[in-house]
Amino acid sequence: MTQSVMVLGAGMVGVSVALHLKRRGFDVVLVDRQGPGEGASFGNGGLIQREAVFPHAFPRSVSELIRIAKNRAVDVSYHTTDLPGFAVPLLRYWWHSEPARYQRTVEAWAKLIETCVDEHLALAEGTPAMDVLRPIGWLRLYGNQQALDAALAQAERAHKEYGVNYRALDAAAIAEAEPSLLIRRPGGIHWTDPLSVSDPHALVMAYFHLFAQEGGRFALGDATTLAQAGSGWRVQTQEGPVEAERVVVALGAAAEKVTKPLGYDPPLFGKRGYHMHYRMQGNAVLNRPVIDTDSGFALMPMRAGIRLTTGAEFAGTDDEPTPIQLERAEPVARKILPLADRVDAKPWMGVRPCMPDMLPVIGPLPGKPAVWCAFGHGHQGLTLGPTTGRLVAEMMSGDAPFVDPAPYRPERF
């Protein structure tokens, strides 16, 4: 008999889960309070990051902590009044970043990252999704030789241990690759495996259209109304109540609003981020995404223009936007590239769903086997959506999962 599933959350992860479940014969309804791909998936840096086998650990050097504490950086900002709410997850994040524990995280994280490009292409081949996937990688620049040498050593480790490919570039090679850059850097790394996404929202929509074409349904609704209904589950939508036998929570940073009433309160925390698009002056171009390490932000060539994306802002999820990082970054960005006018009327803001051990939560809810988790991917929801979708669908179907799901199980917290 066909089993029914509600997938709560229509970002890259939720859409990918819904599509994979539909292809395995489930009757699937996708529910979100807004249109598909309009949350955090809309505004990210637009990279399928095959190279990202080392998740970002909590800073452990005193000098770095002092720099962040001054709250004047481009890459990290915080609301002082909201910091107490981050105390427990950030302490756990620091604890999990201890070198031995961090290495265990890397091993589990890399198993997911290693699959990301193949899983995206498996969904995208022969569809309009291919129009926005560019096999051009991205470029990270370094302002001093010491930082470059350390990065190259880690890149070589990523290559040997996890099959990541890269090219080392000197100053001349950088200038040849990106002739419109206004700065000179002694060297950089061109990560050649990642896919650059010229329109992340269009990519989510391409996968969503596949889901709809194959018989999947979508409803605008409020996931926080989730309640048991007999042997199944019910959510209120604009079309009226929607019921299903099983549920997948793919709500990103808002997941705990649904899981906490069900008795599961993960140490999930959100990092807010912003972006703004810019036109380029004259005939200037940016051929591939660039991150200048010294500057602390990314510049991404998109359909809409050059997307400047910020680092992390620690603030209440529902606080008003405070795009101070963009204000700090824009003058620096204009010294890196010949940017012209802003394209957007106002900055975009989204929230990245992070876990203190840097691993997503994937699997059945403890004590509620009909409710499944698929959230907590940090900065890599766009990267890992199809991987997570396949993993969840295989597990819910009772098939052998293609990746060992044990490190991501919800009951680890």
Domains defined along the chain, listed by start: 1-57+97-132+196-268+356-413 (3.50.50.60)
Predicted confidence at residue 317, as pLDDT, reads 80
**Partners of 5 in the beta sheet?**
28, 246
Residue 277 to residue 299: CA distance in whole angstroms: 9
Contact (CB, 8 A) for 375 and 246: no
DSSP H/E element including 409: none
Q: Which of 68, 88, 39, 129 is nearest to 377 (CA)?
A: 39
Say what the pLDDT of residue 1 is. Answer: 53
Distance spanning both ends of the chain, measured CA to CA: 34
Q: Which two tokens stand for residue 191?
A: 């990560």
Query: Distance (Å, rounded) from C-alpha 101 to C-alpha 357?
Result: 9
Query: What is the residue-wise DSSP string for 338-368?
Result: -EEEE-SSS-EEEEEEE-TTS--EEEEETTE
Q: What is the pLDDT of residue 364?
A: 97
3-class DSSP state for residue 151?
A: helix
Q: Answer whether 284's CB lies under 8 Å from 338's CB.
A: yes
pLDDT of 60 reads: 84
Which of 342, 246, 195, 197 is CA-nearest to residue 7? 246
Residue 117 CB: number of other CB atoms within 10 A? Answer: 20
Per-residue pLDDT, 74: 87
pTM of the model: 0.96
Show pLDDT as tens, one digit a residue, over the chain (413 residues).
579 999 999 999 999 999 999 999 999 999 999 999 998 888 889 999 999 999 999 998 889 989 999 998 889 999 999 999 999 999 999 999 999 999 999 999 999 999 999 999 999 999 999 999 999 999 999 999 999 999 999 999 999 999 999 999 999 999 999 999 999 999 999 999 999 999 999 999 999 999 999 999 999 999 999 999 988 999 999 999 999 999 999 999 999 999 999 999 999 999 999 999 999 999 999 999 999 999 999 999 999 999 999 989 999 888 999 999 999 999 999 999 999 999 999 999 999 999 999 999 999 999 999 999 999 999 999 999 999 999 999 999 999 999 999 999 999 99
Question: What is the predicted pLDDT for the residue at 398?
Answer: 95
Distance CA 274, CA 403 (A): 33
Cα separations (Å) of 155 from 47, 52, 144, 234?
A: 18, 10, 16, 48
Q: What is the pLDDT of residue 43?
A: 87
Task: Output the CA torsion 236→239→241→244 (10° steps).
Answer: -100
Q: Which run of H or of E encompasses 92?
A: helix 83-96
C-alpha–C-alpha distance, residues 361 and 332, integer Å: 37
Cα angle value 146/151/156 (rounded, 5°): 130
| Tokens coding 37 | 């791909």
